[in-house]
Amino acid sequence: MPELQFNPVALPYAQDALAPVISADTVAFHYGKHLQTYINNLNAALPGSGLEGRSLEDIVRIAEGGLFNNAGQVLNHTLYFLQFKPAGNPGAPKGALAKAIDRDFGSLEAFKAEFEKKGAGLFGSGWVWLSEDPQGHLVITQEPNAGNPVRRGNKPLLTFDVWEHAYYLDYQNRRPAHLSALWEIVDWDVVASRL
């Protein structure tokens, strides 16, 4: 059997460290089962695709169909899980990121409100993203299913997963409550490092 090209990213925190915002059960289910399935499907689809040896972002940029769906979900979930820190010490963006948020949204509060509104308003499943466009401006986009801003030529900075498996165990159908709670665990230093 060939060696797998992609593997799950190691979590930089314990599975229960995001509670009560995201429970250990949700992390185990979301990271341990959903992400692993996307990785398995991606690795199975790569041989013979012509995309072997490419970076994950390159695959997401150019792939179509099932290969895109699985690569997109692997990239999205990797960025998602790495942007959090243990609950209990919410922070705020600093430096260039804080200035860019103020410039493009007016304030951190206005940015959060728009981000939550777009996340809550995305019909069906998908992701809400903060990304930097090629002109250096920050934008919020709704990306259905496995969508990622790299397909638009943007640099992804922050994402909230609005697929039900990301929140249903903890919030049932209360997507807005889930989105509002996630600010408590965002690691703004990680988000700033992506700028």
pLDDT digits (tens, 9 = 90+) for 111-126: 999 999 999 999 889 9
146 within some domain: yes
State the total domains in the chain. Answer: 2
Spatial neighbors of 24 by CB under 8 A, at least 6 apart, are 15, 16
Same domain, 135 and 183: yes
Q: What's the pLDDT band for 166 if we cut at 50, 70, 90? A: confident
Spatial neighbors of 127 by CB under 8 A, at least 6 apart, are 76, 142, 143, 147, 148, 159, 160, 161, 162, 163
Same domain, 57 and 105: no
How far apart CA 56 and CA 6 sit, in angstroms, is: 8
How far apart CA 69 and CA 84 sit, in angstroms, is: 23
Question: For residues 2 and 151, which has the higher predicted lDDT (pLDDT)?
Answer: 151
Residues 104-117, mean pLDDT to the nearest whole number = 97
Residues 138-167, mean pLDDT to the nearest whole number = 92
Which of 82, 108, 128 is the endpoint of a domain?
A: 82
Per-residue confidence (pLDDT) for residue 4, from 0 to 100: 62
Same domain, 57 and 129: no
Other Cβ atoms closer than 10 A to 103: 11
Same domain, 124 and 181: yes
How far apart CA 171 and CA 163 sit, in angstroms, is: 12
Residues 157-182, mean pLDDT to the nearest whole number = 85
Which of 82, 103, 119 is the endpoint of a domain?
A: 82
Same domain, 51 and 120: no
Same domain, 120 and 184: yes
174 within some domain: yes
Same domain, 117 and 178: yes
Same domain, 161 and 185: yes
Is residue 127 within 8 A of residue 162, CB to CB? The reply is yes
Same domain, 187 and 111: yes
Nearest residue to 160 (alpha-carbon basis) of 120, 103, 110, 109: 120
Same domain, 108 and 168: yes
Domain holding 59: CATH number? 1.10.287.990
How far apart CA 175 and CA 179 sit, in angstroms, is: 6
Indicate the helix (H) or strand (E) that contains 40.
helix 36-45
Same domain, 39 and 116: no
Same domain, 77 and 149: no
144 within some domain: yes
pLDDT at residue 146 tops 60: yes
Structural domain harbouring 176? 95-193
In angstroms, what CA-CA distances link 170 with 20, 43, 62, 95, 148?
9, 30, 35, 33, 25
Per-residue confidence (pLDDT) for residue 3, from 0 to 100: 52
5 within some domain: no
139 within some domain: yes
